């Protein structure tokens, strides 16, 4: 039987961890969305150098374990655990979001860009006001999946003392020596976050499928 005293005695720690996990994931989601959009546009803009830089970023980052990226940001010595972890997650997730957004942009008919450009809009204006708003709709479900991954990956904050849910679990198990039960509660807290997200993504996917 699960030892509920672990939960009740350390409830504040769990809540603190939950809070940090949520904040870190949200900040990383927002920043990786902005960075990812930028990289996606770099990859398809009509400038060879930008295409190349975008590709290098994506190939490089996607093929390094996120744990290593988080370590590097932390070891750069400029940030505390939570900030370093969030930056690391952003750098990593941006590469995946960039690919999702690129796919979204590619799914917008080429004629949309041509129609916009032929009215005198610049490439940047056409991208911002015509193409991206259409691409984003298609990207929302994959973006939701990235958010779920982000919440789970944020457990890496623990390795740089980021104060998140996993980190609190580590502290509690070290204190109580009741390792298994502690991590069961940690897992349950993650599920509280990820299951609604997962249901939400499923709902969005269904609605998208219908509207097409």
**In this structure, what token pair is assigned to residue 67?**
């744990």
Rounded-to-integer distance, Cα 65 and Cα 89, Å: 11
Write the CB contacts of 91 (distance below 8 Å, at least 6 apart in sequence): 32, 35, 61, 69, 73
What distance in Å separates the CA atoms of residue 170 and residue 132, rounded to the nearest whole number?
42
- Report how far residue 116's alpha carbon sits from residue 75's, in angstroms, rounded to the nearest whole number: 46
Stretch 68-107: interaction string toward other proteins, x if CB under 8 A = ----------------------------------------
**Which position among 47, 114, 191, 208 is part of the footprint of other proteins (CB under 8 A)?**
114
Q: Does 117 bind other proteins (CB under 8 A)?
A: yes
User: Per CB under 8 A, does 140 bind other proteins?
Assistant: no
8 Å CB contact between 166 and 155: yes
Which two three-digit tokens encode residue 42?
Answer: 């770099």
Assess 111 for contact with other proteins (CB under 8 A): yes
Q: Does 129 bind other proteins (CB under 8 A)?
A: yes
Closer residue to other proteins, CB minimum distance, 77 or 111: 111
Q: Segment contacting other proteins (CB under 8 A): 63-71, 82-90, 127-135, 180-188?
A: 127-135
Residue numbers of the site for other proteins (CB under 8 A)?
Answer: 109, 111-112, 114-122, 125, 129-130, 133-134, 137
């Amino acid at each position: 039987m699960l030892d509920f005293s672990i939960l009740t005695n350390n409830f504040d720690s769990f809540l603190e961890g939950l809070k940090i996990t949520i904040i870190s994931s949200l900040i990383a989601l927002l920043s990786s969305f902005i960075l990812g959009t930028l990289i996606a546009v770099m990859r398809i803009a009509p400038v060879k150098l930008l295409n190349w830089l975008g590709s290098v970023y994506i190939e490089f980052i996607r093929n390094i374990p996120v744990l290593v990226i988080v370590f590097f940001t932390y070891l750069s010595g400029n940030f505390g655990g939570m900030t370093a972890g969030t930056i690391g997650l952003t750098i990593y997730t941006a590469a995946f979001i960039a690919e999702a957004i690129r796919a979204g942009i590619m799914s917008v008919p080429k004629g949309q860009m041509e129609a916009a450009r032929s009215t005198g809009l610049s490439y940047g204006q056409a991208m911002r006001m015509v193409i991206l708003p259409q691409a984003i709709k298609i990207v929302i479900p994959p973006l939701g999946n990235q958010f779920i991954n982000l919440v789970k990956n944020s457990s890496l904050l623990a390795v740089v003392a980021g104060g998140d849910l996993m980190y609190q679990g580590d502290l509690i198990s070290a204190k109580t020596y009741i390792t298994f039960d502690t991590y069961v509660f940690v897992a349950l807290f993650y599920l509280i976050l990820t299951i609604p997200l997962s249901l939400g993504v499923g709902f969005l996917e269904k609605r998208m499928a219908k509207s097409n």
